[in-house]
Structure 1
Amino acid sequence: MHNDILFSIFLIFCGAAVLATLALYTRQSLLVAYILLGAILGPWGAKLVSDPIIIKDIGDIGIIFLLFLLGLNLQPQNLIKMLTQTTFITVVSSLVFAVVGYGVGWLTGFNTADSLIIGICMMFSSTIIGLKLLPTTVMHHQKTGEIVISILLLQDIIAIFAMLLIHGAGTGHGLSILEVAQVLLALPFIIFLAFMAERFVLVKIFEKFNRIHEYLFLVAIGWCLSIGELAEFLGLSFEIGAFVAGISIAQSPISRFIADSLRPLRDFFLILFFFSLGARIDVAVMSEVALPAVILASLMLVIKPLTLKPLLLKTASSSKAAWEVGVRIGQISEFSLLVAYVAEKNQIITPAAYCLIQTATIVTFVISSYWIVNRYPTPIAATERLRRD
């Protein structure tokens, strides 16, 4: 058994390189490779990376930087534009997915809390798969891409608020009126403080030292961790603070540079985060939830395109394009894993429900990736014709 952090990182990244190569050859999402590696090397597999503290810390750090970078790319003016285009579609479709998820959980024997979280997790589609498999150079697909991005962005925002509420629920013992008031006041206070600090302090620092790239990188990391620490101190979560920190500097003239500079760091922690999710998969529990997981995954893969097609008929360029949007975002999301992770960490759901969400998500990742690359234009499409379209 090896608990040394350097040895663990060696195993994770060398193993990820090997499995990622296989994933690319089989036209799979790299997320599947990272999760599979965690299951192979983790406590329920070969036990080569078995320290639960290391695995938990890896997951927590990964979430923090993922949410910071999500906020960093979320400019308020773009958000307002997208809200006017797809809010109704996203809200209605998300409610349908939540009801189906809740029903599957309830009918397969899970309790009310488990079924509710399962339903919430079904509301979201994979931002990473959706964006990475969009064609980037073809004008014909520009409208489809805009719709996909708008829906995914709104779903991500819903997921952020879901995690905030779940964190506020704590360990399921209920919140007092004082605690509820603290949570309700803490979020607007942090948002106000972050935007004021950006406007009167950070923007001046960025303008004065914008040529020193190392310094800008350092300030961005420090800003993320500072607001995260403040949020946790005020009763919210570190993750919510990181998200607010990202949004607050999204309008900065150098936000694009910061985002590009932090992308390698994001990818580093992206691998670690999804590895940690795979390492937390209990194979014994997975076998118990295999049937409901397959049922849930199959329903999502079918119901998401069927639900989105009629809702998108007026927005998309054609009925065919509306169906394509539904297929492209027909999987469950990495944010579903985040929501389940927060719920399980706060002891709101059982390990079986957590494993069900993980398993169903992975199944949809695999099937959806195959479906998209073999049917629609993507950077890794199955045929030369699709790569040219």
Structure 2
Amino acid sequence: MAGETHGIDLVEVVALLGAGVVAVPIFRKLGLGSVLGYFAAGLAIGPFGLRLIADPATILHTAELGVIMLLFIIGLEMQPARLWNLRREIFGLGAAQVVVCGVLLTGAGILAGLAPAVAFVAGMGFVLSSTAVVMQMLDEAGETSTPQGQKAVSILLLEDLAIVPLLAAVAFLAPGEADPEAAPRWISVAVALAAVAALVGIGRWLLNPMFRILAAAHAREVMTAAALLIVLGAALLMELGGLSMAMGAFLAGVLLSESTFRHQLEADIEPFRGILLGLFFIAVGMSLDLPALARDWQAIALAVIGYTLVKALGIFAVARAFGAGTRAAVTRTTLFAQGGEFAFVLYAAAAAAGIFDARTNTVFTATVILSMAITPVVATLARRWMPPPAVSTEGVEAAEDLQGEVLIIGFGRFGQVASQALLARGLAVSIIENDVEMITVASSFGFKVYYGDGTRPEILHASGAGRAQAIMVCIDDRAAATRIAHLVRSEYPLAKLFVRAYDRGHALDLIAAGVDYQLRETFESAMAFSAAALRRLGVPEEEAAELVEDVRRRDLERLELQMTGGTYAGVDLIRGNRPVPEPLTAPQRPGQVIGDLPAGTAANN
């Protein structure tokens, strides 16, 4: 058939990749995150959308490798000592969340009229949050390595462990007599322990020597193949032992976390992890049975709302009981209040054991999928609606009635250097900063820095801006620096105003605001840098100084031209319009200086 080559259906491959490429940027641009974009893409091309792919189950099983690789990379970041330090979070916080939410959800199911066994399996399946969704959202927010992120990882690890006893519970709750040919329970436990022991032994004594041999061969593709072999082999070993494949990959990552090849392994696995995890989300979206959703929409809607709210209540209560603040508890609740991919495994086992009938399985599977789909939206809305975190100023003195001759706003790297000559001259300098950690660090080095936000008029007044002869704005937020410049010029016109500029465009904005002096933060250091390079290349000292001074003069001339009615890249700068980017062209003759690039480009900083 057209589009099919030697058994490979290129239509499905192109549909999968194209759907993700189109949907994800759109959803991220809308602020909804990539996870929901993948879900929407899967729904669009699946059997209940455009029908470009008829069997999402096959793709889902393959794409589950993305979750396995994700757990392996997480394991690489978890040295054994670090994992041991998280034992309270894993077996305390994680176990408490699973137990409390499981009891609440089981009780809710029984109150809704479900049989106790059905209510238990349905509730415990929903307890197991989606590792893929939670970790993807943490990664996009840059919070994976934060204390909040580490607690989330601990909870997910405990939930991955919980699938093993839950599957055993399904076998125990199955109606009918036990299979006389089934192996005794103690044999299953022994096999699982043997699988773990084998994995630990391989990781401790075989993997590093193997990688040393492969590294000596200088075959990059073989190193990549070896990395995939480790991840998939560990997952297979755990599956054969009756445990979670994801747990096997995580354990393999932990065993290699102190290896000298850790960074190489992470670099080799990361591309596969990203693509397969995206395919997993697409496959989940394709698995949503729209006819079943239309048939049982009332039951599914009630299950999604009821289970999500009940689980959210349990998560919030556990978080507060373990000392989390309200904001942290709400954030954790929005991350974990959904079902996850392990629910599909548990529900399939329940259907095979006769606990679920086909319709019940479909309803609860759709419930989990919808809960996974709405999680990014709920988390985004929660972040927008929650007030900004309160800043603790304990041990920090706020600005009040300061008397300095010079007021410095911002005490980061730039402000620290700029202040040194003033302090050495013996001038009375007042310094304000809105980063409490920076204030604390500065105090340990003998600097007196006050807490204050320079964009607020009352803070400027309390900081002594009305008495200061000079005000130096050294912050790295260009929008805030411009606001402060306008505010100072309006309220304190007699003060000399010096402002750190980000680039040429920002410098033009500051000049228009009436500052006395502005300096692009990288300009002078870049001049000194290029002068040193010229001298090391054999250029005489005087000639190097002349060349640098010529660049500085030409830069000033262009800046003055732009501010006196000239046009830049065909755009009127006096009206504040941003210039149109132009390509950088090479010099036509020795000594010619390349013209300025538009604001924001590398040559214009």
Normalised by the length of structure 2, the TM-score is 0.54
Shift of residue 63, structure 1, vs aligned partner: 3.8
Q: Which amino acid counterpart does residue 362 of structure 2 have in structure 1? A: P
Q: Which of 178, 189, 206 does residue 201 from structure 1 map onto? A: 206
- Alpha-carbon distance in structure 1 between the residues aligned to 2:10 and 2:331: 38
Q: Which of 338, 348, 352 does residue 363 from structure 2 map onto? A: 352
Q: Which amino acid counterpart does residue 187 of structure 1 have in structure 2? A: A
Partner of 1:312, secondary structure, is: coil
- Alpha-carbon distance in structure 1 between the residues aligned to 2:57 and 2:92: 42
Q: How does 1:21-170 map to 2 (within 5 A)?
A: 21-52=25-56, 54-84=58-88, 87-120=91-124, 121-122=126-127, 124=129, 126-134=134-142, 145-146=146-147, 148-168=148-168
Query: In the alignment, is residue 185 of structure 1 matched against residue 190 of structure 2?
Result: yes
- Contact 2:90–2:157 (8 Å) recurs in 1: no
Q: Which amino acid counterpart does residue 161 of structure 2 have in structure 1? A: F
Query: In the alignment, is residue 263 of structure 1 matched against residue 270 of structure 2?
Result: yes
Shift of residue 179, structure 1, vs aligned partner: 4.5
Q: How many residue pairs align between the two structures?
A: 365
Residue aligning to 1:328 = 331
- Alpha-carbon distance in structure 2 between the residues aligned to 1:85 and 1:242: 20
Which is richer in strand?
A: 2
Seen in structure 2, the aligned counterparts of structure 1 residues 183 and 151 have a Cα distance that, compared at 3 Å, is farther
Q: Which stretch of the first structure deviates more once superposed, 85-94 or 6-15?
A: 85-94
- Contact 2:68–2:245 (8 Å) recurs in 1: yes
Q: Which stretch of the first structure deviates more once superposed, 241-250 or 8-17?
A: 241-250
Superposed CA offset, 1:57-92 (max 9, x none): 334433433343343433321111112367434433
Q: Which amino acid counterpart does residue 155 of structure 2 have in structure 1? A: Q
Shift of residue 161, structure 1, vs aligned partner: 1.5
Superposed CA offset, 1:94-140 (max 9, x none): 3322223223333334443443234333354723323432469xxxx
- Contact 1:230–1:241 (8 Å) recurs in 2: yes
- Contact 2:339–2:368 (8 Å) recurs in 1: yes
Q: Which stretch of the first structure deviates more once superposed, 286-295 or 300-309?
A: 300-309
- Alpha-carbon distance in structure 2 between the residues aligned to 1:131 and 1:53: 27
Residue aligning to 1:280 = 287
Q: Which amino acid counterpart does residue 371 of structure 1 have in structure 2? A: A
Q: Which amino acid counterpart does residue 287 of structure 2 have in structure 1? A: R
Normalised by the length of structure 1, the TM-score is 0.80
Q: Which amino acid counterpart does residue 153 of structure 1 have in structure 2? A: V
- Contact 1:294–1:363 (8 Å) recurs in 2: no
Seen in structure 2, the aligned counterparts of structure 1 residues 359 and 42 have a Cα distance that, compared at 3 Å, is same
Q: Which amino acid counterpart does residue 109 of structure 2 have in structure 1? A: G
Shift of residue 267, structure 1, vs aligned partner: 0.7
- Contact 2:195–2:241 (8 Å) recurs in 1: no
- Alpha-carbon distance in structure 2 between the residues aligned to 1:41 and 1:74: 38
Q: Give the unaligned 5+ runs of structure 2.
A: 390-476, 481-605
Which is richer in helix?
A: 1
- Alpha-carbon distance in structure 2 between the residues aligned to 1:46 and 1:109: 37
Q: Which amino acid counterpart does residue 372 of structure 1 have in structure 2? A: R
Residue aligning to 2:463 = none
Q: Which of 309, 320, 337 does residue 309 from structure 1 map onto? A: 320
Q: Give the unaligned 5+ runs of structure 1.
A: 137-141, 314-321, 379-384
Superposed CA offset, 1:276-314 (max 9, x none): 11111112333240122123224444553354234315x
- Contact 1:190–1:231 (8 Å) recurs in 2: yes
Partner of 2:340, secondary structure, is: helix
- Contact 1:186–1:231 (8 Å) recurs in 2: no
Partner of 2:322, secondary structure, is: helix
Seen in structure 2, the aligned counterparts of structure 1 residues 187 and 31 have a Cα distance that, compared at 3 Å, is same
Seen in structure 2, the aligned counterparts of structure 1 residues 197 and 130 have a Cα distance that, compared at 3 Å, is same
Shift of residue 170, structure 1, vs aligned partner: 7.2
Partner of 1:331, secondary structure, is: helix
Partner of 2:161, secondary structure, is: helix
Residue aligning to 1:319 = none
Shift of residue 361, structure 1, vs aligned partner: 2.9
Superposed CA offset, 1:161-186 (max 9, x none): 22233455677476777342233112
- Alpha-carbon distance in structure 2 between the residues aligned to 1:298 and 1:77: 36
Query: In the alignment, is residue 370 of structure 1 matched against residue 381 of structure 2?
Result: yes
- Alpha-carbon distance in structure 2 between the residues aligned to 1:155 and 1:337: 13
- Alpha-carbon distance in structure 2 between the residues aligned to 1:334 and 1:262: 29
- Contact 2:102–2:127 (8 Å) recurs in 1: yes
Superposed CA offset, 1:333-381 (max 9, x none): 4994221121133344522112112222322331112212554779xxx
- Alpha-carbon distance in structure 1 between the residues aligned to 2:9 and 2:142: 36
Seen in structure 2, the aligned counterparts of structure 1 residues 196 and 135 have a Cα distance that, compared at 3 Å, is closer
Q: Which of 282, 293, 303 does residue 292 from structure 1 map onto? A: 303
Seen in structure 2, the aligned counterparts of structure 1 residues 24 and 169 have a Cα distance that, compared at 3 Å, is same
Seen in structure 2, the aligned counterparts of structure 1 residues 130 and 225 have a Cα distance that, compared at 3 Å, is closer
Shift of residue 253, structure 1, vs aligned partner: 2.4
- Contact 2:203–2:256 (8 Å) recurs in 1: yes
Counting aligned pairs with the same residue, the percent is 18
- Alpha-carbon distance in structure 2 between the residues aligned to 1:53 and 1:299: 29
